[in-house]
Chains A and B, each alone.
Chain A
C-alpha cells in the first residue's frame, strides 16, 4: 500500500524589505527537503510580509513590500503573497498569522474532501494538511531574545505546527535548537535544511547597495529593481525610518503578564 503523503503548506513571515532571490530560494530548498523525507507533499507556499506596525528600522510601506513580492513571485506556480498580516491594525504575533492561514487551509481541505466522497460515501483518502513555518537559521536565535516570544507561542509554533529552518553561511541551527528546552522537546518537528550555496544575500545588504547607487542585479528580480527605482524606495531617509522606536513585539510583550507553561 502506498503511504499517503501529508499535504504541506510553507509559510514565511518576515519584513521582505525587499524580497530577494535568497528568500525565494528558501522555498525551493524547503520543498525539495520535505519531499525527500518521503512523508510530505508540498502543495503551496505563502509569503506573508509583516505589517508597518512592526516598527523595524528601515521598513518601507507594506503596500510597496507587497507589490515587490508579487512582482517577484509572478513567475512562481506555487508560492503566493498574502496581505492579511500586513493589513492588520497592529503587529501580529507569528502564531496568530499561522493560526489564520491554517484555519483557511483546513476549511479549504474540508470543503474539497466534502465534495469528494467515494461510492460508499466515505471521505476522500487525502491526508489532513499541515502548515509549517519556513525560516532562516537566524530566526531560531530570536527565540533566545528576552521578551520577544511568549513561551506558549514557541510551544505552538514548534510543537503544534512545526518549523523548517534553512541554514545560512556559518550559523549552526542545531546549536540554537539544543540551546532551547522547548525547541529540543520538539526537535522531530523542526526540519533543518542545509543550504550548500554560501549565499549571504540579505535584504539589509541589498538596501545598502541601493543607497549607494550600486548594482543589485541578479540578487533580486529585475521587475523588483524597476519598481524600486520607479518609487525611489531605499534611500538614506527610508533607512532612518523607525530609528529609536521599540520593536512592536517587544513593546507588546512587555505589557502582557508573562505566561509560562505548567509542567
Chain B
C-alpha cells in the first residue's frame, strides 16, 4: 500500500467523560481500525476533549478531575491525547466551535512541519467556506479532522434545541463523522430518515461494534455511589484516582440538578 496517497486523519471526541471508561477508549481503537481498513486513511492522532463545567449537566464533576482521569487513561496510548482547551473556556462552547478550533490547530501544526504556501491556502479556504457539498470535506493536503462519537450523539441531532442546524451542517458537511454503533440504535436508519444527514451520508462513517461494550458512565457513577467495584471497566489508574479523591457521591450526582443544560439555554435564548 502506497502510504503517500492516504489521507491523514485526526479523530476528535467531545463529551463529559464523567468519568472516562474503557468504552470511550475502545471507540478510538474501533474507529482507527475501521478507517484504516478502507485503505484510504491513516489515523495519526486522537484527541479527547472533555466538556467545560459550564455545560451544567447533572452530576458533572469538576473539569480538572475529568481531565486528569482522561490523562491517566491515555498514558498507555501512543496516539490518543487529552486536550484541556474546551474545558478551560469560561462559557460552554458549541461542538462545532470545538471542532473548528482543533481543525485550525491541526493545520497550524501541519504548516509548521510542511513548507506550505500560506497565500494559496487562504484563497482555497475562502472558496471552500462558501460551499458545503455532500463531499466537500475540509481536506488540506490529505489531512482531515473527523468527529468521533457514539450513535447516541448522532441521534441527539434530532433533539429540539440541542443543536443548531448550521452546526450540524458544519460538523457533518465540512468535516466528517465517525459514529460507533450501540445495540439500542440503528444509525443507518437514522441517517436514512434525515434529509440533511442523508445528504452528507458519505461523510458519516458508521462503525459496527460487534463486541458490545456498553460501559455507561452513568452506571459507573451509580456503582461507585453504592460502593461497588468498577475495576476492569475503567483503567486501573482512573479507579485509583477516583478512590483517592472520593469523587462520585450522592452529593456530586446532585450537582446542576434542575439547571437547564447550557446548549438548550443558549439555543432557546437566541430564538
Q: How far is the CA of A215 from the CA of B211 in the complex (A)?
A: 12
- Contact in complex: B76, A219 (CB < 8 Å): no
A29-B51 Cα distance, complex, nearest whole Å: 31
Q: Give the CA-CA distance A126 to B114 in the complex, in Å.
A: 72
Contact of B232 among A21, A32, A214, A217 (CB under 8 A): A21
B128 within 8 A of A: no
Selected A-B contacts with CB under 8 Å, 28 pairs = A21-B22, A21-B233, A25-B231, A25-B232, A32-B228, A197-B215, A197-B216, A197-B219, A197-B233, A198-B183, A199-B212, A199-B214, A199-B215, A200-B211, A201-B213, A202-B211, A205-B211, A215-B30, A215-B32, A217-B25, A217-B26, A217-B77, A218-B22, A218-B23, A218-B25, A218-B26, A219-B22, A219-B211
A12 to chain B, nearest CB (A): 14
Counting chain A CB atoms within 10 Å of each CB, which of B76, B211, B215, B236 scores highest?
A: B211
Which residues in A have their C-beta under 8 angstroms from that of B77? Answer: 217
Given contacts A197-B219, A199-B214, 5 further A-B contacts (CB under 8 A): A21-B232, A31-B229, A197-B214, A198-B213, A217-B77
Give A240 to B30 CA distance when docked, in angstroms. Answer: 26
A258 CB–B CB distance under 8 Å: no
- In the complex, the 8 A-B pairs of residues with the closest C-beta atoms, listed nearest first: A28-B229, A215-B29, A21-B232, A218-B22, A198-B214, A200-B212, A205-B211, A218-B25
Query: Footprint of A on B, CB under 8 Å?
Result: 22-23, 25-26, 29-30, 32-33, 76-77, 183, 210-216, 219, 228-229, 231-233, 235-236
CA gap between A200 and B182 in the complex, in Å: 12
Chain A at the B interface: mostly helix, strand, loop or mixed? mixed
Using an 8 Å CB-CB cutoff, how does the interface string of A207-248 with B read, 1 for contact, 0 for none?
001000011011100100000000000000000000000000
Partner of A32, one of B25, B26, B229, B235: B229
Q: A197-B214, A200-B211 are in contact. Are A29 and B183 (CB under 8 A)?
A: no
Residues on B with beta carbons closer than 8 Å to the beta carbon of A205: 210-211
Closest B residue to A21 using CB positions: B232
A-B contact count (CB 8 A): 61
Q: Contact check, A200 vs B25: say whether CB atoms are below 8 A apart.
A: no
Answer whether A222 and B215 are a contact pair too, CB < 8 Å, given A25-B232, A29-B229, A197-B233: no
Question: How far, in whole Å, are A196 and B33 apart by their CA atoms in the complex?
Answer: 28
Q: Looking across the interface, which residue of chain A has its beta carbon closest to that of B235?
A: A218
Q: Which of A166-220 contact B (CB under 8 A)?
A: 169, 196-202, 205, 209, 214-215, 217-219
Bound-state Cα–Cα, A173 to B26, Å: 28
Residues from chain B with a CB closer than 8 A to the CB of A215 are 29-30, 32-33
Instruction: Report if A75 contacts B (CB, 8 A).
Output: yes
Docked pose: A49 CA to B23 CA in angstroms: 27
Interface residues on A, range: 20 to 34
Chain A residues, CB < 8 A from B22: 21, 218-219
In the docked arrangement, what's the CA distance between A200 and B33, Å? 19
With A197-B216, A202-B211 known as contacts, the answer to whether A28 contacts B30 (CB < 8 A) is no
Q: How far is the CB of B268 from chain A (nearest CB, A)?
A: 34
Q: Cβ of A28 and Cβ of B76 under 8 Å apart?
A: no
- Please give, as numbers and ranges, the residues of chain B lying within 8 Å of A148 by CB-CB distance: none
Whole-angstrom distance from the CB of A95 to the nearest CB of chain B?
Answer: 28
| Cβ contacts under 8 Å, A200 to chain B | 211-213
Smallest CB separation, A182 vs chain B (Å): 31
Minimum CB distance partner of B214 in chain A = A198
Contact B229 A219, beta carbon cutoff 8 Å: no
Find out whether the CB atom of B211 lies under 8 angstroms from the CB atom of A169. Answer: no
Given contacts A217-B29, A218-B25, A222-B76, contact A25 B214 (CB under 8 A): no
Residues in B with CB closer than 8 Å to A25 are 231-233
Contact with B along A23-34 (1 / 0, CB 8 A): 011001101100
Residue of A28, A198, A201 near B231 (CB, 8 A) is: A28
- Pair A214/B25 contact, Cβ less than 8 Å: no
Q: Which A residues are CB-close (under 8 A) to B219?
A: 196-197
Interchain CB contact under 8 A, B214 and A24: no
Task: Please give the distance in Å from A26's CB to the nearest CB on chain B.
Answer: 9
> Would you call A198 and B233 a contact (CB within 8 A)?
no
Whether the pair B212, A198 counts as a contact (CB closer than 8 A) is: yes
Closest A residue, CB atoms, query B184: A198
User: Are B29 and A201 in contact, with the CB atoms below 8 A?
Assistant: no
Q: Which residues of A contact B211 (CB under 8 A)?
A: 200-202, 205, 209, 219
**B232 cross-chain contacts in A, Cβ below 8 A:** 21-22, 24-25, 28
Q: Which of A21, A32, A199, A205 has the most chain B CB atoms closer than 10 A to its own CB?
A: A199
